[in-house]
Amino acid sequence: ELILAFESSCDETSVAVIENGDRILSNIIATQINSHQRFGGVVPEVASRHHVEQITLVIDAALKEADVTYDDLTAVAVTYGPGLVGALLIGVSAAKAIAYAHHLPLIPVNHMAGHIYAARFVKPLEFPLLALLVSGGHTELVYMAAAGEYEIIGETRDDAAGEAYDKIGRVLGVPYPAGKEIDRLAHLGQDTFDFPRAMVKEDNLDFSFSGLKSAFINTVHHADQIGETLNREDLAASFQAAVVDTLVQKTVKALEQYPVKQLVLAGGVAANQGLREALTNQLAISSPDIDLVMPPIRLTGDNGAMVGAAAHVELMKHHLADQTLNAEPGLAFVHA
């Protein structure tokens, strides 16, 4: 099967051609980061306009790179939520138009399912599986009893991990999106500030990052007021240590309650080197039988390939949409 997969939920316009759900023939990603950077975050209207400008170019590039035509395709897939409504609508409209014009089935895909299925390009997913899903808008532990079945067993009560990185990035003078640069700075510093690890001792699988964010901002502002300059590398290292510790400890707790075959790291924050190292080390000690699957860095951010991978599962189950498909900005998995 050849799937033409669309992703436009936030600030990446991406189209991919995926063979049998696990082989990338093309994965074109047009990012808008430069247009949003001066605002310190994604501006919805700006995002929609960029998607409109880019989408046909990206479709043509994806078909060309894969060396296929519309006649070769089996189906069209698209992220229909969660995300920015105006941004989602561009991908949904384009996918619907192509499905209609070329008489192709239309596969609706949840963006977060896409993030998890990015791991499929590393190796086949095996169930039951636990996903640590960490991105700009979500921080969740997702239990999958079988392919295409998602249950949230823990989640953030306030900020997402990526959101916390981006917010403290403003205080450190790191441009949006700040995660990658803070990760780099963290590796040059030491964990000297002892920031809080929220909720780790509590008997649940939820997260909270707003207290950490406030502690960080207060520390920097207080130093400013007394004319003291703090070491940026140490600040970054201390923040990252608190985020990573929390994510790893709650994941270990989840694995104790939910025996699984694989642990999948997913979402934009899955690019974090500190998190990848800590999870690798922790699992080797506490759960050596669980297979840790981490997608390559280039597939951790938003992309069409992950949408095509998740779409293939839906296609096998005949979960298809018709021309009434609409964007669902608040689309969510079920809770356990």
Q: Is 30 near Mg ion (CB under 5 A)?
A: no
- How is residue 249 annotated by DSSP? H
Cis check for the bond before 108: say yes or no (omega within 30 of 0): no
Q: Is 138 near ligand ATP (CB under 6 A)?
A: yes
Binding site for Fe ion (CB under 5 A): 135, 302
Residue from 7, 140, 155, 183 binding ligand ATP (CB under 6 A): 183
Please state whether 103 falls in left (phi above 0), alpha (psi between -120 and 50) or beta: left
Is 272 known to sit in a ligand binding site? yes
The values of phi and psi at residue 73, to 5°, are: -75, 150
Q: How far is CA 307 from CA 4, 111, 150, in A?
A: 9, 7, 15
Residue from 4, 10, 130, 306 binding Mg ion (CB under 5 A): 10
The site for ligand ATP, by CB under 6 A, has a size of 25
**Candidate ranges 234-242, 256-264, 296-304, 305-313; the one touching Mg ion (CB under 5 A):** 296-304
Q: Is 302 near ligand ATP (CB under 6 A)?
A: yes
- Collect all residues with Cβ–Cβ distance below 8 Å to 123 and sequence separation of at least 6: 291, 293
Contact (Cβ atoms closer than 8 angstroms) between residue 242 and residue 197 = yes
By beta-carbon proximity to ligand ATP, the closer residue of 267 and 295 is 267
By beta-carbon proximity to ligand ATP, the closer residue of 182 and 313 is 182
Of 31, 37, 112, 62, nearest to 333 by C-alpha is 112
Is 60 known to sit in a ligand binding site? no
User: Smallest distance from the beta carbon of 183 to ligand ATP, in angstroms?
Assistant: 4
Partner in contact with 167, chosen from ligand ATP, Fe ion, Mg ion, none, beta carbon below 5 to 8 Å by kind: none
Distance CA 216, CA 203 (A): 25
Instruction: Give the contact letters, 243-272, x = binds to ligand ATP (CB under 6 A), - = no.
Output: ------------------------xxx-xx
User: Smallest distance from the beta carbon of 44 to ligand ATP, in angstroms?
Assistant: 12
CA atoms in the 13 A half-sphere facing the CB of 193: 26
Distance CA 312, CA 15 (A): 15
Q: Is 333 near ligand ATP (CB under 6 A)?
A: no
Q: How far is CA 221 from CA 167, 176, 228, 243, 275, in A?
A: 14, 20, 10, 20, 27
Residue from 162, 189, 295, 304 binding ligand ATP (CB under 6 A): 162
Binding-site positions for substrate: 133-137, 166, 179, 183, 272
Q: Which positions touch ligand ATP (CB under 6 A)? A: 9-10, 82-83, 111, 115, 135-138, 162, 165-166, 177-180, 183, 267-269, 271-272, 301-302
